[in-house]
Amino acid sequence: MIELSTKLRKWGNSFGIVVPIRALQEENVKEGEEVTIFMKKKRGNTLRETFGTYKSKKPTEKLMKEIDKELTYD
């Protein structure tokens, strides 16, 4: 399995991707063979992609106070 980044391009009434010949050779894929492609849109915020988003019903100030309380040693 290979992973690569490429741009989606308009071809007539369809869209297509260009796969570099070296990537095809690496997987020994020939013209006319069927392949499976997993697609994921590249986004600008890589931190959010990596760590996701956390949604809380509590306000940020309340969360911070709870964290401070847990970290306070008596």
For residue 1, give the nearest of 35, 39, 50, 49 by alpha carbon.
Answer: 35
Flag whether 20 is in a domain.
Answer: yes
Flag whether 39 is in a domain.
Answer: yes
Q: Report the predicted TM-score, pTM, of the whole model to 2 decimal places.
A: 0.47
Q: Cβ distance 20 to 4 under 8 Å?
A: yes
**The pLDDT of residue 14:** 93
**How many domains is the chain built from?**
1
Which residues on neighbouring strands pair with residue 8, listed in sequence order?
A: 17
pLDDT means per 10 residues, the chain with 74 residues, are 86 91 90 89 67 72 81 68
Q: What is the span of the domain harbouring residue 54?
A: 8-71
Flag whether 19 is in a domain.
Answer: yes
Flag whether 29 is in a domain.
Answer: yes
Task: Write the CB contacts of 26 (distance below 8 Å, at least 6 apart in sequence).
Answer: 2
**The pLDDT of residue 13:** 92
